[in-house]
Amino acid sequence: MQSVVLCGSRRFKPKMREFATELKRYSVVVFEPYLHSGQDEWAKLSDDYKRFVALGLTHDHFYKIQMADVVFVFNEGGYVGNSTTLEIGYAVALGKPIYALAADEELCRHVLFREIIRSPVELAKRLQ
């Protein structure tokens, strides 16, 4: 069975967790992003420490992209933020196949998606 790394915005945290849990039921190895608790915790950090944390999280997710066989962009409603755009570019540079939950209005990103896949079951079938 292949492995997949999920990329997406923190705003989709609960739905991404559900998607990952369902994929794991099909014996898919899933690398998930670390999605921190929220803005209250973040607001208490100094600017220097925020940069340090952001750098660590970015490198951590890049490593997960390296480890995974495929990348899945969880872009409900077509939303892709700055970090996910960066992750897509990194995956392209590594030659990773990229699937997405929804079409992207930004053509330059959309053309990088191999296919739109709307459910964990469908993705698990592609990974067999």
pTM assigned to the model = 0.93
CATH architecture of 3-126: 3-Layer(aba) Sandwich (3.40)
The string of DSSP letters for 63-109 reads HHHHH-SEEEEE-GGG---HHHHHHHHHHHHTT--EEESS--SSHHH
* Predicted confidence (pLDDT) per residue in 28-80, tens digit: 999 999 877 667 777 888 999 889 988 998 999 999 999 999 999 999 999 99
Centre a 10 Å sphere on the Cβ of residue 27 and count the other Cβ atoms it contains.
10
SS3 8: strand
Q: What is the pLDDT of residue 38?
A: 66
* Predicted confidence (pLDDT) per residue in 73-96, tens digit: 999 999 999 999 999 999 999 999
**Domain extents for the chain?**
3-126
Report strand pairing: 98-100 vs 70-74.
parallel
